[in-house]
Amino acid sequence: MAYIKGENRGQITLFPASVEEYICEDSYVRVIDAFVEKLDLESMGVQRHRPAKEGRPGYDPRDMLKLYMYGYFNKIRSSRKLQTECRRNIELMWLLGKLVPDFRCIADFRKENAKAIKLVFREFVKLCDKLGLLGKTDIVIDGSKFKAVNSKERNYTKGKLSDRILWIDEKIASYLAELDENDVEEKPIGEKSKEEIEAAIADLESRKALYESYLKEMKEENKTQKSLTDPEAKLMKNNGKMEVCFNVQTAVDSKNHIVVDFDVTDSCNDMGQLEPMAKSAKEVLGIDTIELTADKGYRNYSDILRCLLNGDIPNVHTFKGENEYTFIIRHEEMEISAEMLASKKREDIEACLSAGRIPDLLKGKIELKQAENKENHYTVPNEIIEGEFFIRDIESNTVMCPMGQTLRQKSCNAGKKRYFNKKACRECPNPCTKSKYKTVDFKENQIVIKRRSGNKNDNKNSGKPIKTKTKYLTLHFVPDKEKLRKRKSIVEHPFGTIKHWCDGSYLLLKGKEKATADLAFSFLSYGLKRAINILGVKNILETI
């Protein structure tokens, strides 16, 4: 039996097929085309959204958007590869009308419209909302490290620079000793001549001067490290090894695992990112309150409390040995109206809690208890939210610092217990001491110490505990363990898929703003694939 054979290459046809005939009706490129055509590029700030009156005509930014959306959809992120595909890919011929832009034009569009591309991503999130793909009630937040365009060799920390300067000093000293020895004993130079050694010393001295300038610059800018290729990237732990990366935060809707918002940060960990991501996600989704789920990297007392006061429910893993988050709030007598209880404003929620009333948003989620007002008990005023106090939990024998980190007991002397956490102090963005780490001494039954100022002349008595007879309340919040259990299956999937999709975890552009454009296309293409798999091309086209 003969094989199936194709047409003869030399066969002449009277009516050749049009490009339209090669694209089936349920092809995803039709969704890309329809979506981009509906965008208001002028309101998004896309450059050259209107053709210039003079000069050589440029490419329509809509065509560039279509090209990039198609490329990221098919694992093609390089501008040179996209140019090649325009010549041979029938889908791109249909999408761009057989245009073949130069790779420089393609690359410049992505770099020059970084902010606008993020808005394009948000417009797609709005489309997903119209399609009913978003639940808008449960959001899972997580962060992942994406390698930047910067090698470890071109990244310097204070420790690395100090070690290299020390090595250079030792090397110069050895060279000088060798020269002196040969001058005194009149011995011939070994492997290197005198001129070569002097040249090596000059080179080492120039390198030392360069490293010292880096240290001086870092001190002036109050930075702990410096990256030469991408100044905004930082050396951070990634998959068990140190790499120069960006920490990308995402908010994923739990209904269909679609990324609704993201942010590119240079933070080495996820501490302090919970509340900003919650606010950003609510803005994108157009809602007032939200229920969040996050892993242990986000457990920060200040962040948890801020989220609760915003009316959000932050389900974050508790600290080891604890089942709940406990906060102390000053009790104030005031009248609470029904409107205040139903309000979603932060000031109303805070007023209700201070008065001992649970707002409607938080009913069933938190518990308020009236604590005993003993004569020598130390209470925490509401300013704890601003990070001004060290709070001790006698039951767990731990201390929470103003930045929400846990300090543990290391010694006990003369009836005082000393607490500190060296690692937390090293990574603290707002240190409260000029020493390498902060130590706090608590007397028996003492639970609060006010943070000392960095200036020795200020707050001389700030280390003394605050005594007051004011009544206070304890706020208890227990995270939803069922949602915490499902967290990983929701938020890890997009990260894993996108990193595999992009042939690794590297970014193509430098700087947080341009890296945002790179990731916006990645998250948009991921969401587009999910939407097509769930609803199909025809349903999406009807909605557009």
Token representation of residue 531: 């939407």
Q: Decide if 12 is inside a domain.
A: no
Give the position of tokens 């206070």. 472
Half-sphere exposure of 65 (CA within 13 A, CB side): 30
Q: Decide if 429 is inside a domain.
A: yes
pLDDT of 464 above 50 = no
Find the angle CA(347)-CA(352)-CA(355) to the nearest 5 degrees: 125
Position 203, amino acid: D
Q: Decide if 6 is inside a domain.
A: no
Q: Are both 62 and 32 inside the same structural domain?
A: yes
β 241-253/138-147 pair status: antiparallel
Q: Decide if 1 is inside a domain.
A: no
Give the position of tokens 């962040």. 303
Q: Are both 322 and 464 inside the same structural domain?
A: yes
Eight-state DSSP code of residue 505: S
Q: Are both 326 and 352 inside the same structural domain?
A: yes
Q: Are both 218 and 278 inside the same structural domain?
A: no
Rounded Cα distance between 442 and 448, Å, is: 8
Q: Lowest-pLDDT range, 90-99, 288-297, 355-364, 423-432?
A: 423-432
pLDDT band at 325 (very low <50, low <70, confident <90, very high): confident
Q: Are both 330 and 258 inside the same structural domain?
A: no
Give the position of tokens 């090894």. 241
Q: Decide if 9 is inside a domain.
A: no
- Model confidence pLDDT, tens digit, residues 364-400: 888 888 765 433 333 343 443 345 678 777 667 788 8
Rounded Cα distance between 389 and 392, Å, is: 10
Q: Decide if 301 is inside a domain.
A: yes
Return the C-alpha torsion angle 263, 265, 270, 273, nearest 10.
-60
Token representation of residue 39: 């965008």
Are 156 and 516 in contact by the 8 Å Cβ rule? The answer is: no
Rounded Cα distance between 312 and 307, Å, is: 5
pLDDT band at 54 (very low <50, low <70, confident <90, very high): low
- Model confidence pLDDT, tens digit, residues 437-451: 888 888 766 777 766
Nearest in space to 48 (alpha carbons), one of 61, 63, 62: 61
β 313-316/291-294 pair status: parallel
In the chain, the number of structural domains is 4
Q: What are phi and psi of 318, to 5 degrees?
A: -80, 170
pLDDT of 31 above 90 = yes
Q: Are both 434 and 351 inside the same structural domain?
A: yes
Q: Are both 112 and 31 inside the same structural domain?
A: yes
Q: Are both 401 and 281 inside the same structural domain?
A: no
Q: Decide if 475 is inside a domain.
A: yes
Token representation of residue 498: 């996108």
* Final residue in a domain of this structure, among 227, 244, 276: 227
| CATH number of the domain within which 308 lies | 3.30.420
Q: Are both 305 and 348 inside the same structural domain?
A: no
Taking the CA atoms of 330, 336, 340 and 341 in sequence, report the sign of the dihedral they define.
positive
pLDDT band at 247 (very low <50, low <70, confident <90, very high): very high
How confident is the model at residue 260, as a pLDDT? 93
Nearest in space to 156 (alpha carbons), one of 85, 86, 207: 207
Rounded Cα distance between 131 and 543, Å, is: 7
pLDDT of 124 above 90 = yes
Position 77, amino acid: R
Q: Decide if 54 is inside a domain.
A: yes
Write b or e for each residue in 263-296: b if 16 or more Cβ atoms lie within 10 A of its Cβ, otherwise e. Answer: bbbbbbebbbbbbebbbbbbebbeeebbbbbbbe
Nearest in space to 360 (alpha carbons), one of 334, 330, 339: 339
* Final residue in a domain of this structure, among 200, 227, 254: 227
Q: Are both 326 and 459 inside the same structural domain?
A: yes
Are 535 and 131 in contact by the 8 Å Cβ rule? The answer is: yes
Range of the domain at 257: 137-151+231-317+480-517
Q: Are both 69 and 101 inside the same structural domain?
A: yes
> What residue ranges in 335-380 does DSSP mark as E strands?
366-370
- Model confidence pLDDT, tens digit, residues 135-185: 888 899 999 999 998 888 898 988 899 899 999 988 888 888 877 766 655
Q: Are both 330 and 441 inside the same structural domain?
A: yes
* Final residue in a domain of this structure, among 449, 479, 509: 479
